[in-house]
Amino acid sequence: DQQVKQNSPSLSVQEGRISILNCDYTNSMFDYFLWYKKYPAEGPTFLISISSIKDKNEDGRFTVFLNKSAKHLSLHIVPSQPGDSAVYFCAASGAVRGGADGLTFGKGTHLIIQP
């Protein structure tokens, strides 16, 4: 049972436009969410996170939005650049539970930025 779902395996966006990556979760105990980016032949790297006490967190071109009632979060990249082409993983943690079971990851969305 997938507790963190990324329903779009891939997404193609034109350079300069906005990229929106979506993620849904089912476990109401999750209260800390992260996005990781992965290039081929490399490990995932941390991008941005958000705590459940917030509904938005911004870092440069990257903004994460959290809608707790819908159990949905999204990552916005504006403007999209060629170097953003990568696989993006959504991850969740139950900090209230001490997060001792590690992060739960989605299957990832392959973002392709078209020139």
Partner 1 sequence: DSGVTQTPKHLITATGQRVTLRCSPRSGDLSVYWYQQSLDQGLQFLIQYYNGEERAKGNILERFSAQQFPDLHSELNLSSLELGDSALYFCASSVYPGGLGELFFGEGSRLTVL
* Nearer to partner 1 among residue 36 and residue 64 (C-beta): 36
Cα–Cα distance, 15 to 27 (Å, whole number): 35
CA distance 30 to 105: 12
Q: Which stretch binds partner 1 (CB under 8 A): 55-63, 69-77, 78-86, 104-112?
A: 104-112
Residue 57 binds partner 1, judged by CB under 8 A: no
Binding segment for partner 1 among 12-20, 38-46, 60-68, 75-83 (CB under 8 A)?
38-46
The site for partner 1, by CB under 8 A, has a size of 29
CA distance 115 to 113: 7
Strands 19-25, 32-38: parallel, antiparallel or unpaired by DSSP? unpaired
Q: 43 vs 115, which CB is nearer to partner 1?
A: 43
Residue 29 binding partner 1, by CB under 8 A: no
Q: Where are the beta strands (DSSP E) in 1-115?
A: 4-5, 10-14, 19-25, 32-38, 45-51, 56-59, 62-67, 72-77, 86-93, 104-105, 109-114
Residue 108 binds to partner 1 (criterion: CB under 8 A): yes
Interface with partner 1 (CB under 8 A): 2, 4, 6, 32, 34, 36, 41-46, 49, 89, 91, 93-95, 98-108
